[in-house]
Structure formats: C-alpha cells, structure tokens
C-alpha cells in the first residue's frame, strides 16, 4: 500500500512526515505523491497537530526527484497528469493552515527541491545539495519548480538552476534565499525540532493568519494583499489568543495560547 512509502510520527504537537524509499533516494512515485497528499490533508484536519516537519529517510537524500523509472514510460497526457497530481499535493502543503518545515537532510533534486520549496521554511544540512536537474533528462520541472523558485529566489537563480541543471551546495542555496538556515548534519534534527517546538507553542490562529496573508500576497497586487492583511489583522481581535497574548505581555508573563 502507498502508506509504506511514508512514515508518520508525532512528537507532542509536531508531526514528522518522512518520505521512506531510501533505496531509491526517496524518489516520488505516484504512490508516494498520493500518500503525501493524504498525509498533509490529515495533518491539516488534526487539531492536535500544530506544526509539520517533512524529511527524507536515510543519510543521503531528502528526495532525489520524481521517480525517473515511472516517468520514463509515460506519454504526453500521462506526463501532464503526473505533473498535475504532484502540483496538487504540493499546493496542499503550501496552503496548509499550519507551518510546514522542510528538514533537508541530503539531495533535494527536481521534485525534491520542488517539495522543499512548497514548505514554509527550509533548514538544510551542510551536506545537502539542491537543484533542478530535469533538463539533463530532456525534461523541465513539472511540480512547480519554475514558478516557486522564481518567486523564492528570482529570475537569475531560477534560470541558472533550471537551464544548467547543476545542483548548488547548501551554502549557495542559503545565499540565493532558497533555504532559511544551514546547520551541521549532526545538528539538523535537533535544530529543526527546536524550531518546530517553538512554532508549536505560538498562537495557531496568528500563524495561520501569517500563512494566509503570505499566500494571498504572493499571488496578488499589493493593494489586494494589503486589504487582505488588514482584514486578517482585524479578525485576530476576535480571538482569545490575541487577548491572552497582549494581556500576558502587559502582565510580564509568558502567554498560554488556546487556539481559540
Ligand atoms: N528516480 C528514480 N530512482 C532514483 C532517482 C529518481 N529520481 N534518484 C535516484 N534513484 C535510484 C537510483 O536509480 C538507484 O537505484 P538502484 O540502486 O535500484 O539502481 C538508487 O536510487 C541510488 O541512486 P544512485 O544514482 O545509485 O546514487 P548515487 O549516489 O550514485 O547518485 C544522485 C545520487 C542523486 C546524484 C543520482 O541518484 C541522481 O542523479 N538521481 C536523479 C536526480 C534527478 O535527475 N532528479 C530529477 C528527476 S525529474
């Protein structure tokens, strides 16, 4: 069954989703794409989950791309359908109403970089390598690579990575703005879980508001984005967490948020 390609475990309010095909460097075949889509829908619906960490099994790869063996035999209409299914899963991740952190533990190539880019934050091991090597296969990125890299790192970096197909190391990815943080490989999990824990203790409705505003703003003119932000800002005043957060500040104590 498709679940076999994923491992899902909860650490308090942090759900860790691990793509688990280490013998294929966690390449995304159809079953894995479907399992990821379902896992993220479940994470969205589960009130006990406040943050999701996404990673790949084994010491070598986050995800080494879409499954080349599966793609090799596809015809044009099937290729398009494969892209649409991958894109739908990644859109589900991007629009999740709670933060998703990509813990990039190794190769993030092709669909792997695309998967990392639809997450809200990316922490990479120093040993990670990231790229869009599809042109080397006579292909182009199909899970949003040309679009999300463009928005994340701009035209120059997008054209360099997608035209040359050459991967960059974690340090260059940081300089280009593709990842948020680079850490020693042996500290990756601890540092990622520390960040996840911090977000898990924050006010969930406020985090959701930020995610919504950034998603809407990334796809609209500034006037529309500002209007949306003002509306969301106003909605926060109807939450108990806003009352608690402001009261706790004034009373010089840590806030206790209730997700209401
Ligand atoms: N799809 C399917 N299988 C993949 C894969 C992918 N994207 N990436 C790696 N694998 C498989 C290999 O075929 C190999 O399987 P096998 O042992 O059954 O032959 C296994 O994973 C290990 O990969 P291997 O190539 O032997 O490891 P390596 O250390 O020599 O090289 C990479 C690592 C990442 C440089 C290399 O695997 C690679 O270039 N992968 C493809 C990257 C890519 O083009 N991604 C975009 C796809 S659109």
**Cα 109–chain centre separation:** 14
Residue among 3, 114, 224, 251 flagged as catalytic: 114
Verify that 100 and 210 share a domain, yes or no. no
* Residue at 114 is within a domain: yes
What confidence category does residue 4 fall into, taking pLDDT thresholds of 50, 70 and 90?
Answer: confident
Token pair 């409705």 is found at 205
Tell how far the Cα of 197 is from the centroid of ligand 1, in angstroms.
33
Q: Which atom of ligand 1 is nearest to the CA of 69?
A: 2
Spatial CA neighbour of 54 closest among 4, 110, 107, 121: 121
* Residue at 66 is within a domain: yes
Verify that 221 and 181 share a domain, yes or no. no
Verify that 26 and 81 share a domain, yes or no. yes
Verify that 161 and 92 share a domain, yes or no. yes
Q: Which atom of ligand 1 is nearest to the CA of 141?
A: 48
Spatial CA neighbour of 146 closest among 105, 113, 106, 101: 113
* pTM for the whole structure: 0.97
Verify that 225 and 104 share a domain, yes or no. no
Instruction: Say how many domains are in the chain.
Output: 2
State which residues form the domain around 185.
2-200
Verify that 105 and 233 share a domain, yes or no. no
Tell how far the Cα of 64 is from the centroid of ligand 1, in angstroms.
6
* Residue at 259 is within a domain: no
Q: Using DSSP bridges, classify how beta strands 100-104 and 121-125 pair: parallel, antiparallel or unpaired.
A: parallel
Verify that 173 and 243 share a domain, yes or no. no
Verify that 39 and 139 share a domain, yes or no. yes
* Model pLDDT, residue 2: 44
* Residue at 257 is within a domain: no
Q: What is the pLDDT of residues 17-51, one digit of tens each?
A: 999 999 999 999 999 999 999 999 999 999 999 99
Determine which residue's CA is closest to atom 44 belonging to ligand 1. Answer: 133
Q: What is the pLDDT of residues 211-230, one digit of tens each?
A: 999 999 999 999 999 999 99
Residue 173: exposure state from Cβ atoms within 10 A (0-12, 13-18, ≥19): buried
Cα(18)–Cα(175) distance, rounded to whole angstroms?
27
* Residue at 188 is within a domain: yes
Q: Which helix (H) or strand (E) holds 101?
A: strand 100-104
Residue 237: exposure state from Cβ atoms within 10 A (0-12, 13-18, ≥19): exposed
134 catalytic residue (yes or no)? yes
Structural contact between residues 92 and 119, judged by C-beta atoms closer than 8 angstroms = no
Spatial CA neighbour of 64 closest among 132, 142, 157, 151: 132
Q: What is the pLDDT of residues 102-127, one digit of tens each?
A: 999 999 999 999 999 999 999 999 99
* Residue at 79 is within a domain: yes
The DSSP secondary-structure symbol of 185 reads: G
Q: Which helix (H) or strand (E) holds 87?
A: helix 76-94
Structural contact between residues 99 and 59, judged by C-beta atoms closer than 8 angstroms = no
Residues 6+ positions from 102 with CB-CB distance below 8 Å: 54, 55, 62, 108, 115, 116, 119, 121, 122, 123
Tell how far the Cα of 112 is from the centroid of ligand 1, in angstroms.
12
Q: What is the pLDDT of residues 159-213, one digit of tens each?
A: 999 999 999 999 999 999 999 999 999 999 999 999 999 999 999 999 999 999 9
CATH number at residue 19: 3.90.226.10
Verify that 83 and 186 share a domain, yes or no. yes
Spatial CA neighbour of 119 closest among 232, 32, 214: 214
Residue among 3, 34, 134, 187 flagged as catalytic: 134
219 catalytic residue (yes or no)? no
* Residue at 258 is within a domain: no
Q: Which atom of ligand 1 is nearest to the CA of 24?
A: 21
Cα(53)–Cα(17) distance, rounded to whole angstroms?
6
CATH number at residue 243: 1.10.12
Within 6 A (CB) of ligand 1 lie 24-25, 27, 64-69, 107, 109-111, 133-134, 137, 139
């Amino acid at each position: 069954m498709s679940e076999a390609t994923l491992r899902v475990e909860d650490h308090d309010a942090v759900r860790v989703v691990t793509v688990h095909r280490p013998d294929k460097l966690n390449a995304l075949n159809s079953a894995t794409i479907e399992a990821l889509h379902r896992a993220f829908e479940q994470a969205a619906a589960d009130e006990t989950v406040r943050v999701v960490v996404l990673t790949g099994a084994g010491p070598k790869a986050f995800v080494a791309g879409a499954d080349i063996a599966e793609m090799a035999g596809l015809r044009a209409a099937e290729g398009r359908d494969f892209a649409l299914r991958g894109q739908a899963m990644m859109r589900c991740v991007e629009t999740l109403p709670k933060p998703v952190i990509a813990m990039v533990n190794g190769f993030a190539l092709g669909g792997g970089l695309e998967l990392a880019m639809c997450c809200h934050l990316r922490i990479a091991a120093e040993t990670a390598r990231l790229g869009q090597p599809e042109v080397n296969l006579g292909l182009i990125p199909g899970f949003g690579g040309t679009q999300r890299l463009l928005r994340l790192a701009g035209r120059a970096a997008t054209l360099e990575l997608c035209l040359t197909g050459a991967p960059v190391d974690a340090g260059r990815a940081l300089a280009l703005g593709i990842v948020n943080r680079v850490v020693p490989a042996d500290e990756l999990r601890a540092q990622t879980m520390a960040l996840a824990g911090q977000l898990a203790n924050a006010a969930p409705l406020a985090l959701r508001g930020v995610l919504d505003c950034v998603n809407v703003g990334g796809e609209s003119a500034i006037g529309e984005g500002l209007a949306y932000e003002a509306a969301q800002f106003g909605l926060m005043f109807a939450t108990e967490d806003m009352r608690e957060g402001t009261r706790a500040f004034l009373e010089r104590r840590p806030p206790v948020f209730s997700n209401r």
